[in-house]
Amino acid sequence: MLRLHLYPLRQPGYIDRVDWSSLSPLEGQRLREFGICEGASIEALHRGGLLGRGPLACRVGRMTIAMRRSHAAAIHVRSGPDQVPQ
């Protein structure tokens, strides 16, 4: 298991755990609205910035979202398929 900002690019995984307490309430709300939740499928796609210090673009479900490394660091990702309860 790795945190999202360290997770290899273009390798689908699923969200194991989110440290909601390390995010501000507003950030937490927006991430939930984007579909970030325990069990959702996620894939890191692109890292921005010339030295890789920029934001991260990732796919959540069928959406692409951009977030900063600090947000990505709160998301723990496990390799494997989508685990949203059916």
Residues that bind other proteins (CB under 8 A): 24, 26-27, 29-35, 37, 45-50, 52-55, 57, 59, 61-68, 70-71, 84-86
Which lies closer to other proteins via its Cβ, residue 2 or residue 66? 66
Which lies closer to other proteins via its Cβ, residue 55 or residue 77? 55
Tokens of 19: 């440290």
Q: How far is the CB of 62 from other proteins (least distance, A)?
A: 5
